[in-house]
């Protein structure tokens, strides 16, 4: 904990279930400002990455089979850190006040005189109904909706659930924490008078790419779901609304649904790719293998930037190059107007998009997104004697400069950044590989090299067979092959979008086989 202020506070925030993009903006803003994060097992790791690097991260949930932290201990930690002046963000799956013991934590805080705020979350039932296609209410089928805790059904006493009233009420009934006691729950409802032919469904892992829905009736849902091996976390939904499932299921039919995809590109660049993959139903894990490190630019090179009017051409070859170039331009007291007289060439759709954000459209943007295409375009022009500024990665291939010089151009290469290995640990990559992803995306040769470097040669050799690589293009594929991996997918367009399309096409063809 680095930041301290005298008025600490605890924010109890719901994260929604499964899909990390279902968190609220409010929760995310608190998380990004947190000094301490206390989280449950159901909170996705993609979300935890949003916490500041220096934040103290405390896991308060059950670890596979192990005991969960005592509620009293959790309360004590929340109170202690808040009293030290920290902004404590307590993340809870779903909504904090729906069967999450969030209210008990809030009571403890109130009692201790600690300030707190509550941020709602999408509760599991909402996610299950929308992602499975079982609307919880629908005026054709159900006038009411009841949430019940299945835990109370499991302990013999149960003065809490009035089964007769529940059966008489009818409508939609959703049981949380009821997977294990499903035989008892369903039997009690039938004994209390609910029709055994009432449609019922179990939704496991709602809102995530491993969601599963099993349907049946009140009489047989327990047997059906145990046959299918349904486990936690799951919800039992009872009521006529379940009949809408065959018509309204959509998520489980997405092309990449159920596919686990690892994204290895730099964290800053992964976000939009991950979001697009998730929208296609994929279970995305990010294992950044590179990060962008800016290189110092000084002396004569600053003069190049101050005197852009001396150049004829400016070539930008990546989104990172665009951003860093404009930062540098600003640092020498210039702005986009300094580019007015230049011919501007860009490689790649992402590069062009980044330029667009600065209000600039490139003069040349090759149809194909590799350096070779740009060179072919330039070769068609008369480059003799033209002065070219090329701000780019310090690790970029020499071929571009060589070729431009062969064409007679005078090139100033400005090395402004360098992809360096990310801080992703060996353990992180290994954990991801333990359930081998359906695709590991490689969006540059550096992602391949660093992936192997982090994993280590020995482990890499051992696991090579399991690596199902999706490559962004021929250069990356060549690097993969050099390390003995034949990519199962290669993008035709050398963009993240092209790569996603290629994986989608592969998955559709695979499903048809």
Residues in contact with ligand SAH by CB under 6 A are 17-18, 42, 92-95, 98-100, 123-124, 128, 176-177, 203, 205-207, 232-235
Residues 34/55, Cβ–Cβ less than 8 Å: yes
The Cα 199–Cα 195 span in angstroms is 9
Q: Which is nearer to ligand SAH, 17 or 366 (CB)?
A: 17
The CA–CA distances, whole Å, from 424 to 52, 198, 421, 459 equal 15, 50, 8, 16
Residue among 123 and 495 whose Cβ is closer to ligand SAH: 123
Task: Count the helix, strand and coil residues of the chain and give each as a percent rounded to the nearest 5.
Answer: 40, 20, 40
Q: Omega before 336 cis (within 30°)?
A: no
Least Cα distance to 285 among 131, 436, 420 occurs for 436
CA-based angle 422:497:251, to the nearest 5? Answer: 100
Which residue lies nearer to ligand SAH by CB, 17 or 437? 17
Instruction: Report, in Å, the least distance between residue 48 CB and ligand SAH.
Output: 16
| CB distance 23 to 278 below 8 Å | no
Strands 56-59 and 234-238: unpaired
Give the C-alpha separation, 351 to 374, whole Å.
Answer: 13
Q: Which is nearer to ligand SAH, 174 or 314 (CB)?
A: 174
Q: Check: CB of residue 367 under 8 Å from CB of residue 380.
A: no
- Burial of 168: CB neighbours in 10 Å, binned 0-12, 13-18, 19+: exposed
Catalytic annotation on 3? no
- Annotated catalytic residue: which of 62, 164, 395, 415? 62
Across the beta sheet with 212-217, the strand order is 145-149, 172-176, 234-238, 199-204, 212-217
Beta-carbon contacts of residue 444 (< 8 Å; ≥ 6 apart):
265, 290, 419, 472, 475, 476
Residue 42 or residue 74: which is nearer to ligand SAH going by CB?
42
Q: Is the dihedral of CA 279, 280, 285, 287 positive or negative?
A: negative
Report, in Å, the least distance between residue 67 CB and ligand SAH. Answer: 16
Give yes or no: 501 in active site. Answer: no
Q: How far is the CB of 8 from ligand SAH (least distance, A)?
A: 24
Min separation Cβ 99 and ligand SAH, Å? 4
How far apart are CB 56 and ligand SAH at their closest, in Å? 23
Are the C-beta atoms of residues 46 and 28 closer than 8 Å to each other? no
**Alpha-carbon span 169 to 187, nearest angstrom:** 17
203 vs 292 by CB, closer to ligand SAH: 203
* Cβ distance to ligand SAH smaller for residue 179 or 409: 179
Contact, 391 vs 326, CB < 8 A?
no
Smallest separation (angstroms) from ligand SAH to the CB of 425: 27
Q: What is the DSSP letter of 208?
A: S
Q: Nearer to ligand SAH by C-beta: 205 or 441?
A: 205
- Give me the least distance between CB of 148 and ligand SAH, in Å please: 10
Least distance CB 134 / ligand SAH (angstroms): 12
Asked if residue 313 lies in contact with residue 331, where contact means CB atoms within 8 angstroms, the answer is: no
Taking each continuous run of H as one helix and of E as one strand, the counts in the chain are 21, 20
Dist CA 403 CA 55 (whole Å): 48
Q: State in angstroms the smallest separation of the CB of 438 from ligand SAH.
A: 21
Residue of minimal CB distance from ligand SAH? 94
Residue whose CB is less far from ligand SAH, 42 or 282: 42
Catalytic entry in 35, 40, 283, 438: 40
CA 389 to CA 308: how far, in whole Å?
Answer: 8
Which residues participate in catalysis according to the annotation?
40, 62
């Amino acid at each position: 904990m680095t930041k301290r202020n005298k008025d600490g506070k605890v924010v109890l925030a719901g994260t929604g279930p499964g899909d990390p993009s279902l968190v609220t903006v409010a929760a995310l803003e608190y998380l990004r400002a947190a000094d301490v994060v206390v989280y449950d097992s159901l909170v996705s790791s993609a979300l935890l990455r949003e916490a500041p690097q220096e934040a103290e991260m405390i896991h308060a949930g059950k670890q596979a089979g192990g005991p969960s932290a005592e509620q009293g201990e959790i309360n004590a930690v929340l109170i202690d850190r808040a009293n030290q002046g920290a902004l404590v963000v307590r993340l809870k799956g779903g909504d904090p006040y729906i069967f999450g013991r969030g209210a008990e934590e809030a009571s403890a805080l109130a009692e201790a005189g600690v300030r707190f705020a509550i941020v709602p979350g999408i509760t599991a039932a909402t996610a299950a109904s929308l992602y499975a296609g079982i609307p919880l209410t629908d005026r054709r089928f159900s006038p009411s909706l009841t949430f019940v805790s299945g835990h109370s059904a499991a302990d013999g006493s149960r003065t809490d659930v009035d089964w007769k009233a529940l059966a008489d009420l009818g409508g939609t009934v959703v049981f949380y924490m009821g997977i294990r006691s499903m035989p008892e729950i369903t039997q009690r409802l039938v004994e209390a008078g609910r029709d055994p032919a009432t449609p019922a469904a179990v939704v496991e892992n709602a809102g995530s790419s491993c969601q599963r829905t099993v349907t049946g009736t009140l009489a047989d849902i327990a047997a059906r779901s145990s046959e299918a091996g349904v486990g936690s976390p799951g919800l039992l939904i009872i009521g006529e609304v379940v009949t809408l499932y065959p018509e309204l299921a959509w998520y489980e039919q997405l092309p990449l649904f159920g596919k686990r995809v690892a994204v290895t590109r730099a964290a800053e660049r992964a976000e939009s790719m991950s979001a697009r993959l998730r929208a296609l139903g994929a279970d995305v894990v990010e294992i950044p293998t590179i990060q962008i490190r800016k290189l110092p630019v000084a002396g004569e090179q600053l003069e190049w930037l101050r005197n852009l009017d001396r150049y004829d051409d400016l070539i930008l070859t990546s989104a990172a190059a665009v951003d860093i170039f404009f930062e540098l331009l600003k640092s020498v007291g210039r702005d986009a107007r300094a580019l007015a007289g230049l011919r501007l060439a860009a490689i790649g759709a992402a590069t062009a998009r980044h330029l667009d954000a600065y209000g600039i459209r490139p003069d040349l943007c090759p149809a194909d997104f590799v350096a070779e295409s740009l060179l072919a375009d330039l070769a068609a022009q008369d480059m003799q004697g033209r002065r070219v500024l090329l701000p780019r990665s310090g690790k970029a291939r020499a071929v571009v400069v060589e070729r431009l010089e062969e064409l007679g151009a005078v090139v100033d290469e400005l090395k402004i950044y360098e992809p360096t290995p990310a801080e992703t640990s060996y353990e992180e990559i290994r954990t991801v590989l333990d359930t081998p992803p359906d695709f590991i995306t490689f969006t540059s040769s550096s992602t391949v090299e660093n992936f192997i470097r982090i994993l280590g040669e020995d482990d890499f050799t051992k696991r090579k067979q399991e690596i199902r690589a999706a490559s962004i293009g021929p250069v990356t594929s060549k690097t993969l092959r050099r390390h003995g991996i034949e990519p199962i997918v290669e993008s035709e367009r050398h963009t993240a979008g092209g790569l996603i399309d290629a994986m989608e096409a592969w998955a559709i063809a695979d499903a048809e086989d």
